[in-house]
């Protein structure tokens, strides 16, 4: 069911950050930085996949994501909800349930046998598709999913995520140039503010994370191994 009441955008961001901290999805380590998929170091790491194991938080965040998309894109803007393999699949299913719409998912690459499909489920020409994922960093990985959706003859002009890094200035331009609008619940800045309010990590750790968020490329260059 579509939620009929909801907090302000600012309160949604604060509560989302609080929930991510509460379940241990937020990880800060300035002494031994994490290695991202790109191979670059980062003092911060977030695991939105953990959300599926916490029913109350999961349900609340899916209400937030649904109403954020409806408020920003329109209440009759979509015909199909697609999840990106793999992290986006459960969240797409939950959003589709709330919107009473068909759900599909998009493979990262063709499965290599049978129909060799990238789209699983029923997606048809002319449908307006919302791409749902867990998070976005620089927006690049979304483009392949969007192109796979468009190859079916459907359109995809919106993507919704729980978490948006909001530290790489090119992200929204990359998506915008591809004709895709980004919708999200919270960013690293929201998480940092809530972590400070809670005293969830030491002040020194949070100060170093803030240094990274302000200049991520320079921080990564200075902390690369070898």
Domains of the chain, by residue range, sit at 9-222
| Three-class DSSP labels, the chain | CCCCCCCCHHHHHHHHHHHHHHCCCEEECCCCCEECCCCCEECEEECHHHHHHCHHHHHHHHHHHHHHHHHHHCCCCCCEEEEECCCHHHHHHHHHHHHCCCEEEECCCCCCCCCCCCEECCCCCCCEEEEEEEEECCCHHHHHHHHHHHCCCCEEEEEEEEEECCCCCCHHHHHHHCCCEEEEEEEHHHHHHHHHHHCCCCHHHHHHHHHHHHCHHHHHHHCCCC
Average of per-residue pLDDT values in the chain: 93
- pLDDT for residue 2: 67
More confident residue, 139 or 41: 41
Annotated binding-site ranges for 5-phospho-alpha-D-ribose 1-diphosphate: 107-108, 111, 133-141
What confidence category does residue 147 fall into, taking pLDDT thresholds of 50, 70 and 90?
Answer: very high
- pLDDT for residue 6: 84
> Given a cut of 60, is residue 146 above it in pLDDT?
yes
- pLDDT for residue 37: 73
Annotated binding-site ranges for orotate: 137
What confidence category does residue 141 fall into, taking pLDDT thresholds of 50, 70 and 90?
Answer: confident
Q: Domain 9-222: which topology?
A: Rossmann fold (3.40.50)
Annotated binding-site ranges: 107-108, 111, 133-141
């Amino acid at each position: 069911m579509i939620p009929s009441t909801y907090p302000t955008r600012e309160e949604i961001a604060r509560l989302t950050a609080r929930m991510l901290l509460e379940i241990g999805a937020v990880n800060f380590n300035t002494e031994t930085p994490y290695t991202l998929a790109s191979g670059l170091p980062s003092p911060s790491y977030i695991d939105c996949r953990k959300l599926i194991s916490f029913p109350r938080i999961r349900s609340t965040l899916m209400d937030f994501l649904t109403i954020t998309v409806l408020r920003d894109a329109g209440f009759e803007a979509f015909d199909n909800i697609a999840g990106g393999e793999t992290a986006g699949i459960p969240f797409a299913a939950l959003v589709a349930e709330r919107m009473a719409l068909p759900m599909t998912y998009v493979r990262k690459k063709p499965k290599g046998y049978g129909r060799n499909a990238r789209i699983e489920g029923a997606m048809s020409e002319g449908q307006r598709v919302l791409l749902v994922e867990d998070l976005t960093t620089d927006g690049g990985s979304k483009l392949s999913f969007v192109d796979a959706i468009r190859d079916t003859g459907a359109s995809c002009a919106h993507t919704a995520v729980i978490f948006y890094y909001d530290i790489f200035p090119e992200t929204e331009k990359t998506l915008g140039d591809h004709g895709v609008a980004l919708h999200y619940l919270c960013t690293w800045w929201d998480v940092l503010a809530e972590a400070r309010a809670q005293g969830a990590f030491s002040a020194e750790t949070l100060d170093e994370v803030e240094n990274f968020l302000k200049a991520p490329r320079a921080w990564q260059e200075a902390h690369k191994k070898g």
